[in-house]
Amino acid sequence: MSALASGKLIAPAKVQGPVLALSEGLSFWGGVDPDTGHIRDAYHPACGESMAGRIVMMPTSRGSCTGSGVLLELALNGKAPAALIFRESEDILTLGALIAGRMFDRHLAVLRLPAESYEALAACSEAAIHDDRVEAEDLSIPLERVDASALELTAADRAMLDGQEGEAVQLAMEMICTMAASQGATALVDVTRGHIDGCIYASHANLRFAEAMLDLGARVRIPTTMNAISVDFGNWQAQGVDPAFGQPASRLAQAYVDMGARASFTCAPYLLDDAPTKGEAIAWAESNAVIYANSVLGARTVKHPDFLDLCIAMTGRAPMSGVYSDDARRARLIINVELPSGHNDAFWPMMGWVAGRLAPDCIPLIRGLEAAAPNEDDLKALCAAFGTTSAAPMLHVAGVTPEADNVALPDAREVTVGPADLLEAWTAFNQGGEQVELVAFGSPHFSIAECGKLAELLDGRQCKTGTTAIVTLGRDALAAVQADGTVERLKRAGVKVVADICWCSISEPVFPPEARNLMTNSGKYAHYAPGLSGRTVRFGSLAECAEAAVTGLAPKTPPTWLA
């Protein structure tokens, strides 16, 4: 057999099986059916393929931090890949595999291979993974096990790792140290606040993990907010949600509250009054929140996977890796944008989606938008859509974001984006028919300003019978727009306003069962909705979505600024 450069064995398991080599990364949340293991991301080249029992290779994962929980569910129901092999750094699925093995005795192998070894193995149809090597056809790739013993730990770290603060904290520190070693970190870093993404009821696995940690005595020790959950916490029974779903979903949220997390229930924690500041080291999960925090606020956080978010909140310590350091925040790609004349707010999610496709595994610097003057909601839409197509934890916008000056590496590649590229995004987002039964606002959660703009667009008008319009938002924002009368204005127009949940976790009957085609102004939801909801999608600006709510019809053609 021909030997190749050695790889890293992060999660050991002896497996043998067919190889499924994916040409691009995949978000398991929204992109993989947790019950079957089939790929359901409508935009992925391997859509429809089953990963169950196969040795799955991909450059890295992308998208939602909730992928950890989806992988754990696949492991618990016997539909997980036998192994995951990455070429680049990867945290989300890796952590899910580590939890599956450490807490539930469901082992799958996780490897990272250098490029030459990765490409050679990807050309093979079968492979076998052993404790010290991978064999396939005439290949033999040595493996070195990841070792956390060389980490520089403080006395307090060692006390937690030795179990002096209880079993839950010990388990949390074990996970942090293993992930740190797999990332190549040599030390840990103090963080000031956390944001929990694992409170979404993506599957029963999320509940099993949270309640197991609660039973072990887990408590957060730093201020910790919570992501949007899967039900309107106080109202799901009145909304007709099936108790078989509503009860475990609310139990999951309550478990994190019982562990000391704040019941903020928003996927946009940067909209809260106490948002992080520039240079502050934090530990957030939820992809759009991480990208916004790094890019727009200038705070520092790796895109932490579900489950590790709790571990870090329990210890106040995170691996000193990735974008916690200055060098890792540099741009490896420059995207020069030909800004279309007369563009509207729909430009920003489309731009984010295109930028993510161009930079699937690196941080980009976007130039050419200096005169566009994006507001906070524009940047929210940009970051959220970018997170659906890129694994990178941040982006830079020249003249707009706080770290964009001199951020590009000397050897950064350059590409150009023009109206034709944006039109391609618009076409991808608009696969549904003209008739619209549902208009979805709030992915990520609507801001106070967005609620006001929508109310202005709908003042004196009424949603069409047979077309439902729903705004999802955080409970802090809800309290504000209730106090200033905006909610009443929206309700007069026929809009439903729902707190705590967002579109990536909404379920029937809050999601109208009769709706077959929906429209949204969110690039994030336009990307995920076909796989998550099984419906077709239309996309447009806030004003176009408001018009669709009133008329029940989506525009037939792209906006004139893309023509």
Q: What is the DSSP letter of 142?
A: E
DSSP 8-state secondary structure symbol assigned to residue 50: B
Specify whether the backbone of 556 is left (phi greater than 0), alpha (psi in -120 to 50) or beta: alpha
CA atoms within 13 A on the CB side of 70: 29
β-sheet with 331-337: strand ranges across:
396-397, 364-367, 331-337, 408-417
d(C-alpha 251, C-alpha 273), whole Å? 27
Active-site residue (options: 61, 64, 182, 230): 64
- How far apart, in whole angstroms, are the C-alpha atoms of residue 509 and residue 529? 16
Q: Which two tokens stand for residue 437?
A: 């039964």
Measured distance CA(402)–CA(293) in Å, rounded: 11
Q: Which two tokens stand for residue 128?
A: 């076998």
Query: Could you say which DSSP state residue 266 is in?
Result: -
Rounded-to-integer distance, Cα 254 and Cα 237, Å? 16
Cα angle 138-140-142, degrees, rounded to a multiple of 5:
175
Return d(Cα 168, Cα 218) in angstroms, integer.
5
3-state DSSP assignment of residue 122? helix
Reported as type and span, the H/E element at residue 529 is: helix 523-533
For residue 298, the Cα-to-chain-centroid distance in whole angstroms is 19
Say whether the peptide bond before residue 410 is cis (omega within 30 degrees of 0).
no
Distance CA 530, CA 168 (A): 38
CB-neighbour burial class of residue 118 (10 A; exposed 0-12, middle 13-18, buried 19+): buried
Q: Calculate the dihedral angle through the C-alpha atoms of 358, 359, 361, 364, rounding to the nearest 10 degrees.
A: 170
One-letter amino acid at 5 equals: A
**447 catalytically annotated:** no
Locus of tokens 């408001």: 546
For 272-329, the three-class secondary structure string (H helix, E strand, C coil) is CCCCCCCCCECEECCHHHHHHHHHHHCCECCCCCCCHHHHHHHHCEEECCHHHCCHHH
Phi-psi group of 473: left, alpha or beta (phi > 0 → left; psi -120 to 50 → alpha; rest → beta): beta
Other CB atoms closer than 10 Å to residue 352's CB: what's the count? 30
Those residues whose C-beta lies under 8 Å from the C-beta of residue 38, and which sit 6 or more positions away, are 32, 48, 49, 50, 51
414 is written with which tokens? 């350059």
DSSP string, 201-256: -SSHHHHHHHHHHHHTT----S-EEE--BSS-TTTTTTTT--HHHHHHHHHHHHHH
Task: Give the residue numbers annotated as catalytic, written as ranges.
Answer: 64
